[in-house]
Amino acid sequence: MKIVVLDGFTLNPGDLSWDQLDELGELTVYDRTKKEETIDRIAQAEAIFTNKVIIDARVIKASPNLKYIGVLATGYNVVDLNAAKKAGIVVTNIPAYSTDSVAQMVFAHILNITQRVGLHANRVSDGDWSKSIDFSFSLSPQVELKGKTLGVIGFGKIGRKVAELGHAFGMNVIFQNRSVKKDVPEYFKQCSLKEVLENSDVLSINCPLTDENAGFINKLSLSLMKKTAILINTGRGPLINEQDLADALNSGKLAAAGLDVLSTEPPKQDNPLITAKNCFITPHIAWATKEARLRLMHIATSNLKAFQEGVPDNIVNS
């Protein structure tokens, strides 16, 4: 079987091995693939893997040998599922590989905003503490999380893990989810979106992006939040109206934001959030711990092996 990985660099920048996947066929790995290179690179392939390279109806139609598409991520909007199904191509994804890593990043942002460890450490290195007349040198308010309310939007695996971490910090946890969650501890309270927005001291967005919720964090929803609230987004960038969030931060209507995702990645230089007040942005790395990428590699290999054995797993276009 001819296997092509179209954009393998983010999964494996050199610290992992492709050997397990290589054992399943004749493997070719490209670090990155431009749109105009896609069809030529997969012309003879029977199985391909993509993370962000678009596999649309045009690409599928031009790839008569293609039998399998493995998405190297949980989200699979980069593939035209209907076109793949009509062509008899199986499409799989990688579920639940980054739960702990993403939840950890949520709290990395929360703790950065509430404690500003990096800011203080840098100023100590610059000699500012040595010049201080006081034994305790503080550049920002220090905020204790215990007793604060953590709101979680989207109570899937990641949202639930975020909630568990919040509970461990002594936070009161409320959450909003599209469906009613019945298998949750009594100290997690399901509420309406309005209630979560109004009552959260920290709001973590962990829901998938759909046509219905695109841009739901906007001027109206932000106006419901406390001025002292912190907004965290490790879900998808388009869940937020970025200009509205920048306006809220710059005008003091929201205290701070920690974001690992933006609507366009990499962002345009004029993205208003890059220069917004108290906005801390990481470049979509919550998923990318080595441990999470090892799990992703293992599941990707297992998915293809299961397909070869006639018992495909993690299908998203059945």
Catalytic residues: 236, 265, 284
Rounded CA separation 203/197 (Å): 7
184-187 own/partner pairs: CB under 8 Å, 24+ apart: 184/155, 184/160
152 close to 204: Cβ distance less than 8 angstroms: yes
Measured CA to CA in angstroms, residue 154 lies from 179, 277, 307 at distances of: 10, 26, 31
226 exposed, middle or buried (CB, 10 Å; 0-12, 13-18, 19+)? middle
The region that residue 184 occupies, defined by phi over 0 for left and psi between -120 and 50 for alpha, beta otherwise, is beta
Rounded CA separation 192/207 (Å): 14
How do strand 47-50 and strand 202-205 relate by DSSP bridges?
unpaired
Measured CA to CA in angstroms, residue 88 lies from 25, 75, 85, 264 at distances of: 20, 21, 5, 32
Measured CA to CA in angstroms, residue 233 lies from 246, 280, 281 at distances of: 14, 11, 10
How many CB atoms lie under 10 A from the CB of residue 176?
Answer: 21
